[in-house]
Chain A
Amino acid sequence: MSSTTNSPTHHTSTIGAIGAPSRRNTELMLLVFAVAIPVFAYANVGLAINDEVPTGLLGYGLGLGLLAGVGHLVVRRFAPYSDPLMLPLATLLNGLGLVVIWRLDQSERLQLSSTYVEASPRQLLNSAIGVALFVVVVIFLKDHRVLQRYTYISMVTALVLLLLPLVPGLGANIFGAKIWIRIPGLGTIQPGEFAKIVIVVFFAGYLMVKRDALALASRRFMGLYLPRGRDLGPILIVWAVSILILVFETDLGTSLLFFGMFVIMLYVATERTSWIVFGLLMSAAGAVGVASFQPHVQQRVQAWLDPMKEYQLSQQGIIGHSEQSMEALWAFGSGGTLGTGLGQGNSDLIGFAANSDFILATFGEELGLAGVMAILLLFGLIVERGIRTALAARDPFGKLLAAGLSGAFALQVFVVAGGVLGLIPLTGMTLPFVAYGGSSVIANWALIGILLRISDTARRPAPTPAANPDAEMTQVVRP
């Protein structure tokens, strides 16, 4: 692929390097780097806590290296032209997450608590399952356009997955949010994480067909294109579903994620700013409306507006208040610019959910502002590569799918990081790849797999056009 230069002044320009390089060696180099950094971090934590290089270092390094190596070989074989950055970025985030989860496992304060389980071996297993799913996606999803066939099946699947936690006996209410289902023998899984991917497939397929109606049939009013009343149907339905999630599952994060994703994809499909305005107004109205009668949501908003008061209430032993928001802010504060160093912070004081929802606070305390910025940039780079894939994709379905998946990823990071940092009300979501949580790691590896597949199709050099078989028959016969 190459672009041509259009110079209005009469400069002559030359375009070289026509064949797109596959860049697999760049990926390998970055992967080695991405495995080395968490190994360094692991050694650092061990030295800081126990004064010795941890015994599991070799095993951990080999484990992470093996996962990365398998991923790389599969990509090299089955998606040779795909983006060189996504796999290393995901590996690095996953590896750093594992190290910090292990570091929190070492905390004596957390070991005393009644709910303590050693989380890092499980998370390593989850990462392995995640990479396995990634491999399956890359090998068996030969062409992302196949997914287009399952547009409406995806819709049903996503709705079922979203509603599963509400089924009595199957759903599990854990600490106020009903977003888990309990499968005997397997533990709990969070179907919302998988629904996130499935519903993007539906949105992409649906919007690809309907986008002309949504974009063109509109009246212009005060600089905004107002859609026709009946075209508002889909956005109203998605809005209603996300409000239902908020009311019945009391999960602000999932609700925000689904509605936000739809608005992002509407905007990408139609290029109409008015959809974003509508989306923001509707989500604000929905959130305020629900917060006026839902106690769980109300309490989250209170904790966001005044975390210190919330902390004092919880210290007085009043049930239903949480001291975590304030503690997370303290963790960020004591980290300062450069942090206390890995293994030397006190973020384990957060206690419950320190290694899942609040894991960013540990990064904030031990790596400081510099470290958190780097972590957020890594997420940003994954999103950037996703959007870039959407730009490069040649088919509208692939564009929408890539934009939707990276939008979902970005929204999830925003919702959880914004919540922990006190920018928006806190909601129980996992930081992709980093936080402890099986469903999240597995689903996000699958998401990266689909993005890689799209980018492979998009970056593959165009095949030479087939000779037109009709050309021989339609020759102009000159007398």
Chain B
Amino acid sequence: MSELTLTVMRLGFLAVLWLFVIVAVQVIRSDLFGTRVTQRGSRRESARPQQAARQAPPQQRGQQSGGGGGRQRRGAPTKLVVSEGTLTGTTVALQGQTITLGRAHDSTIVLDDDYASSRHARIYPDRDGQWIVEDLGSTNGTYLDRNRLTTPTPIPLGAPIRIGKTVIELRK
């Protein structure tokens, strides 16, 4: 076998070996950043809870990641916004999934709040696409507006749901 071929194979093999390492690292990278976080800049209204029910300007709706597609009804909420507490400003897109709230690490929104239970509450859509909040037997209770929840309750758009010091609401 000619010297040249062997040299090409030698360097080629090293290149392929390193390519594998790089591909593996890329896989790890996509694993680390498995959740897509879109920063929207501070021009946004800094999450003031009082303006909850106000409609978002149309160009911001265009920025929403994914959204619910065309399946959702008009007037249905598309995102959940934390408007008070340590997590202020966090939004979670509502895509028909159940959102769990609590101090447990596997909650969708991990509350760092002394008044929250580990599995505090969950928010899920019923068959009609209406979003329901349900208290999961928490110690200090979940409040919708001023009322402590005892049964799964539909969430009106923009109504504050209070868990300890954290307030979340659904927005369009």
Contact = CB atoms under 8 A, between A and B. Distances in A.
Interface of A: 1-7, 9-21, 23, 26, 30, 33-34, 37, 40-41, 44, 47-48, 51, 84-85, 88-89, 92, 338-342, 344, 367-368, 370-371, 374, 377-378, 381, 384-385, 388, 394, 462, 464-465, 467-468, 470-471, 474-476
B24 A12 contact: no
Contact of A3 (B17, B35, B95): B35
Tell me the dominant secondary structure on chain B's binding face: mixed
A428 B18 CA distance: 29
A59 to B, nearest CB: 21
Contact of A13 (B5, B37, B105): B37
A37 B17 contact: yes
Given A4-B110, A11-B41, A17-B36, A34 B13 contact: no
Contacts of A30: 20, 23-24, 27
A384 B21 CA distance: 13
B90 A44 contact: no
Contacts of A33: 20, 23
A4 B166 CA distance: 14
Contacts of A344: 6, 10
A381 B28 contact: yes
A261 B165 CA distance: 43
Contact of A11 (B7, B23, B25, B42): B42
Given A12-B44, A377-B21, A462-B106, A41 B13 contact: yes
Contacts of A394: 105-106
9 contacts: A13-B90, A14-B92, A17-B36, A48-B6, A85-B28, A340-B10, A342-B9, A462-B100, A464-B100
Question: Which of the four size classes fits the interface of chain B?
Answer: 35 or more
A341 B151 contact: no
Contacts of A385: 28
A4 B5 CA distance: 54
A340 B150 CA distance: 75
B153 interface: no
Contact of A465 (B24, B88, B136, B148): B136
Nearest to A371: B14
A336 to B, nearest CB: 12
B47 to A, nearest CB: 6
